[in-house]
Amino acid sequence: MKRTFLYVPIIIVAFVLLMNALLPPLSARDARSPESKLIPLLPNEVEVVGTASSPTDYSADYVWFRTRSDGTFKTESFPTSYHPVLTRWEGNQFAIMRGDSIVVTDLDTDTTSNIPAGTDSSGMDRGYTSPNGRFIALVSHSGGKSVTLSDGERTSTKTIASFPEDIGVSDEGRVYILEMDSTGYGKPLCVRTFALDEKESISCVLPEISRSFGLGVMDASGSVPRIFTLQASDSADMWVTYEWSGNAWVETAEGPAAGYDTEKYGRAADWFAYGDQVYILTTTPGWLSFPFPGPQTSDLQPQYTPLEHIAPGYEVTHTVDGEIASFVFYRDEGVASGQYVTFFNINDPTIHVGPWELPPELYAGSKATDLNAIDSLFIVDEKTRAKLVS
């Protein structure tokens, strides 16, 4: 009898090993935590459009996808393109740089058109749209970095030395490319600017010799272009603003940057101006905003909202679309275990919808082994957008 008990564990172990060999392994998505499995799928009535690509295999095709309120969806694969991000144009038109063309998809008419870009790109970094939606500027890889400005009929492309700190596009169709040297004290900030029918010009400013630029935000939405900067020094960090006088960038205000606490908020991961506000996405992750400062500003008084409560995970990407931002994140063991999204109002992130799991069928590649990460994501149905716009 005692010897019989000795064989029981051996039989059980052999049975478990046999079953493990016969049964397929759990996918990363199936192996998600119970909490992750409770996050619902993207509802049918919420329509989105987006792109996804492999974060590791740059030779793989990228995916364009769209969902409709009737529960159907459409996906298309295109030749490899580094970081393929969509940029909203007028209405429900979305543009992307593909090779030597700007490819524009109109969701309302379900049509696609091509605009010669004047350059041959291997991928994109990001896109910018003028406040009135008439003009776009696309930053792409074209044997270096380039910025392509277009109004839908004409294009103008300029080569730049490095990735810009920020870009602004005015309603009049002028693009402002902010470039900063943050490698040491006294290094310049420069703005390149051009329009469709004008040559490029450049104007630079220097900080005080004991300061270095740390962050720059370009705002071209008003009648006078302006810049917000954070500047570091051995004594005290400062914020400084500049405005375009017509022939030079002129300092207009400065103050202590004590209101921006990197230990509390984390590092700045992205930044932009919209309306009369400056917005900063931080690495915590969190959402920080404050009014664009001027001569009467004594304290930045930033408003900070942690995003972990509405987007409980690790960022994959984010897309800003006017007042609405999407925050795509993963949980568990990376993007293979699932990607989720929360949409929120940039002025008040507590106004949000989601989180929802994005159906893997949307962003899966053409091969069963493909693993894609979301690059850009927009919400396009008006009913859901109305819930998010203040």
Check pLDDT > 50 for residue 362: yes
Check pLDDT > 50 for residue 308: yes
Res 9: pLDDT: 41
Stated pTM of the model = 0.88
Check pLDDT > 50 for residue 57: yes
pLDDT band at 10 (very low <50, low <70, confident <90, very high): very low
Rounded to whole angstroms, how far apart are CA atoms 108 and 66? 12
* Mean pLDDT across the chain: 87
Residue scoring higher pLDDT (61 or 39): 39
Check pLDDT > 50 for residue 14: no
166-221: per-residue pLDDT in tens? 999 999 999 999 998 877 788 899 999 999 989 999 999 998 888 888 899 999 99
**Of how many residues is the chain composed?**
390
CA 342 to chain centre: 13
Tokens matching residue 367: 């091969």
Check pLDDT > 90 for residue 237: no
Q: Quick one: which H or E segment has residue 18?
A: helix 2-22
Burial per residue of 168-195, b for 16 or more beta-carbon CB atoms within 10 angstroms, e otherwise: bbbeebbbbbbbbeeeeeeeebbbbbbb
Res 24: pLDDT: 39
Domain limits of the chain?
Answer: 308-389
Res 368: pLDDT: 52
For residue 352, count CB atoms less than 10 angstroms from its CB and return exposed for 0-12, middle for 13-18, buried for 19 or more: buried
Residues contacting residue 212 through CB under 8 Å, at least 6 positions apart: 182, 183, 184, 185, 186, 187, 231, 232, 233
Check pLDDT > 50 for residue 123: yes
Res 21: pLDDT: 38
Tokens matching residue 326: 């999407």
Res 169: pLDDT: 98
What is the DSSP pairing of strand 48-53 with strand 373-379? antiparallel
Mean pLDDT of 291-297: 91
Rounded to whole angstroms, how far apart are CA atoms 369 and 363? 12
Count of CB atoms within 10 A of residue 244's CB? 17
Residue scoring higher pLDDT (230 or 142): 230
Res 3: pLDDT: 33
Beta strands in 210-313 (DSSP E): 211-219, 226-233, 238-244, 249-256, 268-274, 277-282, 286-291, 303-306
